[in-house]
Amino acid sequence: MTARSGAGHGAGAAAPPRYKTALVSWLSVYPIITLLLWLLGPVVSALPVPVVTLVLTVVLVTLQTYVVMPFMTRLFQPWLRSGTSRAPTREAEHPGGADQAPSWNGPSRR
């Protein structure tokens, strides 16, 4: 399994703040669920609630994952990435060599 975070943004690109991701997700989920309830409401109203929930969530998650979020991410890209900086490199985290493990000598005795 491969990780796709930061794909297309270069290695080390900082992820957008979670509140921005949450807001963009909500901006896409709300219209989808409203549209699904409006279109499928008459069809699924006679079904038990767990079945309705199953149908709506399968459609919602599929649309959200493969259609809507890629579009919304591209649309909101400048805002999502504003105020973020590149993630620190291993060299910046551990000066003197990326392969050296950080050392800890215990509490300071002053």
- Indicate whether 108 belongs to any domain: no
On whether the CB atoms of residues 94 and 102 are closer than 8 A, the answer is yes
- Indicate whether 99 belongs to any domain: no
Domain that holds residue 72: 18-82
Q: Model confidence at 2, in pLDDT bands (50, 70, 90)?
A: very low
- Indicate whether 23 belongs to any domain: yes
- Indicate whether 107 belongs to any domain: no
Helix 18-44 × helix 49-63 angle, to 10°: 130
- Indicate whether 77 belongs to any domain: yes
On whether the CB atoms of residues 52 and 12 are closer than 8 A, the answer is no
User: Which of 20, 30, 19, 38 is closest to 64 using CA atoms?
Assistant: 30
What's the number of domains the chain is made of?
Answer: 1
- Indicate whether 2 belongs to any domain: no
For 20, the 3-state DSSP assignment is: helix
- Indicate whether 47 belongs to any domain: yes
d(CA 69, CA 28): 7
* pLDDT over 50 at 6, yes or no: no
pTM for the model stands at: 0.61
**Average pLDDT over the chain, rounded to an integer:** 79
H or E segment to which residue 13 belongs = none
- Indicate whether 98 belongs to any domain: no
Name the token pair of 87. Answer: 């993630």
